[in-house]
Amino acid sequence: MSDSANASARKCASNVIASKGPDVCWTPRGSSVVPVPYSSMVTLDKAIRYSTSVRNNGKFDLQLNSAVPGVTGHEPGTKKGIVSPGYKGIALVNIASPFVYSEGFATWAHRQEAWINRPDPGPQEPQKSIETKIIKRD
């Protein structure tokens, strides 16, 4: 059993995505360019593509389609990342809840795996249909 709860991710400055390992970027140093590891992060108050009708503690709910621009911490690495060519890119969650949905999209929670400093907007999950189901009584 986990000792930490899966708190829902919200559009809030106190919620962040931070790199677990180094974000290695090509960085100009003198007349050469060298790989330098950085610690990157972004606050979720900048999120785009979020639920507008679902809130947690008054803050908008984030979903698998949410993207967060403005990744910081690697600014000197102007020649972009080594593994991914992002520079001041966006952050996206990779996996969301398999059973909790917000406005037809899977939601994501604290400590779920994310891609930080992505160079493009990333894929978008299709919206689940919201149909009225009538349950007949015997």
CB 107 within 8 A of CB 63: yes
pLDDT higher than 70, residue 5:
no
List, for residues 68-104, the tens digit of each pLDDT value.
998 888 888 887 878 877 788 888 888 888 888 888 8
The percentage of residues in the chain with a pLDDT greater than 90, rounded to a whole number, is 12
| Distances in whole angstroms, Cα of residue 25 to Cα of each of 40, 81, 84, 124 | 11, 4, 9, 27
Residues 6 or more apart whose CB falls under 8 angstroms from that of 112 comprise 6, 9, 93, 94, 95, 96
What pLDDT sits at residue 4? 53
Average pLDDT along the chain: 82
Q: Rounded to two decimals, what is the model's pTM?
A: 0.74
List, for residues 37-58, the tens digit of each pLDDT value.
888 889 999 998 888 998 888 8
Distance in angstroms between the alpha carbons of the first and the last residue of the chain: 40
| Selected residue with higher pLDDT from 131 and 19 | 19
The CB density around residue 23, as the number of other CB atoms within 10 Å, is 23
| Confidence band, pLDDT 50/70/90 cuts, at residue 129 | low
What pLDDT sits at residue 31? 93
| Distances in whole angstroms, Cα of residue 105 to Cα of each of 41, 122, 129, 130, 135 | 24, 15, 10, 10, 24
